[in-house]
Amino acid sequence: MQVYLPIAEISVNAFLLLGIGGIVGILSGMFGVGGGFLITPLLFFIGIPPAVAVATSTNQVVASSFSALLAHLKRKTVDMKMGTVLLVGGLAGSALGVLLFNFLRSLGQVDLLVQLCYVLFLGVIGALMFVESLNAIRRANRPGARVVRRKHNWVHNLPFKMKFRVSGLYISVVPPLLVGVLVGVLAAIMGVGGGFIMVPAMIYLLGMPTKVVIGTSLFQIIFVAGFTTVLHATTNHTVDVVLALLLLIGGVVGAQFGTRWGVRMKAEQLRILLATLVLGVCIKLAIDLLIQPTELYSLTAGAL
């Protein structure tokens, strides 16, 4: 069944979009990621204009994150205070990111920026996660191995300290604000929630306990992605609600199945799978940049 997308102005197969949404939903349910980093490249691949793909993905991220957040709220694993600090940084970063996005769109380099961001961040995060989970599996196979205690580092010597009760932390607000800004910029440019950046940053940089990390990250992502959606919709008119609807119907259903399959697997195995997936997407995008394209020319809508 073909559906004509009113904003993207192309006709695509509805079941294809439901399928993409479903697969990404399964993954996001299993791994606790928003799935934006997979949806955006997949939308490029089926011919959705990059600007529409990025803006619409942020809307889809809101839906899948909200669905997951409800589960975390029930388990009381959300640090609202930390989430709010991250959010303040996130909103500033998001506005910055949309400005940067529009500027580069006028220069014709937006595709390059998006691709470079993907290659860089997916590469670094994927590699770190892969190594870390391999080590975790090795440790688990060697019983009696020492668990390394979290140490105080430079992060704990900054001013403006604040108490975060749920996370059991007493740290400066500067690092969470900066993490928030970075994630906001990425959300705007890459059409992602930024969970795959924020989760490691919260664990390794801020030293938050793992059990509150995902819920808090989801809490912050919903608002940043929502704000980014509004900015893209009002400045670029590139949010396609029909496209978003089809993706998120597939996505929310997939997420529920993914969550169930996820609990049956070991955490280290899950992380290794996710790392492999992230590295796979990264390598595919890197190859596209490095190998001579078959069509050297491309078209963008000109200014009137």
Partner 1 sequence: MIRLVMFMIFLALPASAEEEIVLGLSHDQVAITATFEGSNILVFGAVRRETPIPDKSELGVIVTIAGPDMPVDIWRKDRRAGIWINTDEVEVDAAPSFYAVATSAPMRDVLHHVEDLQYRITAPRKIRAIGGQVSDSVAFMNALIRIRTDEGLYQRLEGAVDLEQDTLFRTAITLPANLTEGIYEARIFLTRNGRVIDEYITEIPVQKVGLERWLYNLAHNQSLIYALMSLAIAVGAGWGASAVFGMIRR
What's the min distance (Å) between Cβ of 294 and partner 1?
11
d(CA 113, CA 117): 6
- Token couple for 177: 């604000």
Site string for partner 1, 116-155 (x = CB under 8 A): ----------------------------------------
Q: Is 255 in the site for partner 1 (CB under 8 A)?
A: yes
Q: Is 301 in the site for partner 1 (CB under 8 A)?
A: yes
Q: Is the distance from CB of 210 to CB of 220 less than 8 angstroms?
A: no
d(CA 84, CA 82): 5
d(CA 13, CA 28): 23
Q: Is 97 in the site for partner 1 (CB under 8 A)?
A: no
- Measured from the CB atom, the residue of 9 and 170 that comes closer to partner 1 is 9
Q: Is 298 in the site for partner 1 (CB under 8 A)?
A: yes
Q: Is the distance from CB of 25 to CB of 252 less than 8 angstroms?
A: yes
Residue 109 C-alpha from the chain's centroid: 22
Among 57, 67, 77, 220, binds partner 1 (CB under 8 A): 67
Site string for partner 1, 201-240 (x = CB under 8 A): -------------------------x--xx--xx--x-x-
What's the min distance (Å) between Cβ of 206 and partner 1?
26
With residue 285 as reference, give the H or E element that holds it.
helix 267-290
Half-sphere CA count of 191, side-chain side, radius 13 A: 31
Q: How many residues does the chain have?
A: 304
Q: Which residue ranges make up the site for partner 1 (CB under 8 A)?
A: 1-4, 6-7, 9-11, 59-60, 62-71, 108-109, 111-112, 226, 229-230, 233-234, 237, 239, 241-242, 244-245, 248-249, 252-253, 255-256, 289-293, 295-304
